[in-house]
């Protein structure tokens, strides 16, 4: 997971043993955004919490990757005062 609050949903489930209750052995760790695509491609990681744009931008080189859950979509970069 990325080290940002909106990418740490899984920690709640880990702390409450929800994953273990359904037979999922979830091991979580912080990663850097530049590690997302290589880690998924070389199967070092099975699932990553990532902004959708990271996957969309890598489509030409990693079309086998997919997004299966959307939590939120940060749009703060587009807001100006």
Residue 30: inside a domain, yes or no? Answer: yes
Neighbours of 26 (CB within 10 A): 13
Residue 52: inside a domain, yes or no? Answer: yes
**Confidence label for 14 from pLDDT (cuts 50, 70 and 90):** confident
Residue 24: inside a domain, yes or no? Answer: yes
Domain hosting 42: range is 5-65
**Do 48 and 33 form a contact (C-beta atoms < 8 A)?**
no
Domain count, the chain: 1
pLDDT tens-digit map of 22-75: 999 888 888 898 999 999 999 999 988 887 788 888 888 888 888 877 666 666
Please state, in angstroms and rounded to a whole number, the distance separating the CA atoms of residues 76 and 22: 36
Residue 78: inside a domain, yes or no? Answer: no
**Confidence label for 16 from pLDDT (cuts 50, 70 and 90):** very high
Residue 70: inside a domain, yes or no? Answer: no
**Do 48 and 40 form a contact (C-beta atoms < 8 A)?**
yes
**Run of H or E residues at 12:** helix 9-15
**What does the pLDDT read at residue 79?**
58
**pTM metric for this prediction:** 0.68
Residue 77: inside a domain, yes or no? Answer: no
């Amino acid at each position: 997971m990325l080290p940002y609050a909106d990418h740490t949903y899984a920690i709640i489930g880990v702390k409450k043993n929800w994953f273990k209750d359904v037979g999922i052995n979830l091991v979580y760790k912080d990663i850097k955004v530049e590690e997302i695509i290589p880690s998924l491609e070389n199967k070092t990681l099975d699932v990553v919490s990532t902004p959708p744009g990271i996957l969309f931008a890598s489509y030409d080189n990693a079309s086998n990757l997919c997004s299966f859950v959307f939590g939120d979509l940060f749009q703060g970069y587009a807001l100006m005062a």
